[in-house]
Amino acid sequence: MKTELLAPAGNLEKAKIALLYGADAVYVGGVSFSLRARASNFTVPLLKELVEFAHKLNKKVYVTTNIVFHDEDAVGLDEYLIELDKMKVDAIICSSFLIIERAKQITNLEIHLSTQFSVTNHALADYFYDEGIKRVVLARELSINEIREVAKHTKTDLEIFIHGGMCVSYSGRCTLSNYMVTRDANRGGCAHSCRWLYNLYHNDDLISDNYDFQMSSKDLEITEYIPKLLDIGVSSLKIEGRMKSIHYIATVVLAYRMLIDDYYNNKLKDLNYYKNEIKKAENRLTSIGFLAGNTSINEQLYNYRSESPTKEFIGIVLAYLPEKKLALIEQRNYFEINDSIEVVSPNKTFNYTKVNTLLDEDMNEISVARHPLQRLYINVEFFVKPYDLIRRVK
């Protein structure tokens, strides 16, 4: 069986984009019981709509229920699990024995164990397999050799993180956010305190300069390890980023989709090709995390702000008028007449053209698109479809 590509989604639009651009499955959080509850708007009706959309494409939806439960957090849990079971969610991702046991007792839901549980060995993975867990998401602190050993000896399916944010604490067990702003990182409220800027002292002597110290990890990006993970036969390769934009989701998913498919088809390109595609959306420094073993200073951010937001993503196609060769788009970033653009499609095609015609929704000519979410018409000589993305070419 081919390894699955699993993508994140913070809302319905992002989930659809992820599936259309090549994800085999998406993982989402509801408004409760999720570690990214603040980033999600998935009510039960929206989850139903997503499941129906995914299943029509023969793809899957996993729902995160991975908070650390306190007594008050369990209110409504049984009803929620039953709803997920009724709508035929493909699996739930959890880290608490409470939800594992309740799901086994009152539903037929497939259960995946969250990376929050920090499984780092095959004996523990097999324990959960015997407890009815179909898949274990391994801790992100494992090397490629350790992953290979676990895979060789375990009975359970394995899921590995391959891209996205890395928590500076072991498997995400951080309490900085709790202490600083009373937002519980393990109950869906992380404030990303590790990415803030701090003064650093040694024996009461200030050794940093103008709040320039931070303790964050670089984001994960392991394109060079994908062939090895495919050879190992892990069940799923997981991208992190439910709070990311649709451009980020589409670009990163498509890049990994191409890499995986090219490898299976013996058509693998130079890895820099896939890395460069990812860079069109990535705005933080990246590293290979723990894949080569224990991390070094090269995997950390101490006094360097890495964010450099890109503005290349300028719109998403809503419709196409073939008789007029005009695409109706929803604008996302500034662009203007004579800009060169790239149209990216879910079918892995990249087409290029130039903005020679720019009209507002009433067909009035304009020269500059400066209002995000405005609907505009631009000339496109080739056929485009809804959900195609448009990027400005520098």
Asked if the model's pLDDT at residue 212 lies above 80, the reply is no
The two structure tokens encoding residue 379:
């000339």
Rounded distance between C-alpha atoms, residue 271 and residue 259, angstroms: 8
Confidence band for 247, pLDDT divided at 50, 70 and 90: very high
Please give the domain boundaries of the chain with CATH numbers for all domains.
4-189+218-301 (3.20.20.70), 313-392 (2.40.30.10)
The two structure tokens encoding residue 330:
């929803």
- For 290-328, what is each residue's pLDDT tens digit? 999 988 777 877 766 555 556 689 999 999 999 999 999
State what percent of residues in the chain have pLDDT above 70: 93
Asked if the model's pLDDT at residue 4 lies above 70, the reply is yes
- For 46-100, what is each residue's pLDDT tens digit? 999 999 999 999 999 999 988 778 888 788 899 999 999 999 999 999 988 999 9
Looking at residue 116, what is its pLDDT?
85
**What mean pLDDT do residues 265-291 have?**
90
Rounded distance between C-alpha atoms, residue 392 and residue 390, angstroms: 7
pTM of the model: 0.90
Nearest to 188 by CA among 37, 345, 9: 37
The C-alpha angle 105, 109, 115, rounded to 5 degrees, equals 100
Fill in the DSSP letter of residue 71.
Answer: G
With a CB cutoff of 8 Å and minimum separation 6, the contacts of 319 are: 327, 328, 386
Looking at residue 68, what is its pLDDT?
78
**What mean pLDDT do residues 211-238 have?**
91
Looking at residue 310, what is its pLDDT?
62
Nearest to 115 by CA among 105, 106, 130, 128: 128
- For 109-165, what is each residue's pLDDT tens digit? 999 999 988 999 999 999 999 999 999 999 999 999 999 999 999 999 999 999 998
Q: What count of other Cβ atoms lies within 10 Å of the Cβ of residue 313? A: 21
Looking at residue 35, what is its pLDDT?
61
Rounded distance between C-alpha atoms, residue 332 and residue 145, angstroms: 43
Nearest to 245 by CA among 350, 362, 128, 389: 389
Looking at residue 218, what is its pLDDT?
85
Rounded distance between C-alpha atoms, residue 52 and residue 41, angstroms: 17
- For 10-26, what is each residue's pLDDT tens digit? 899 999 999 999 999 99
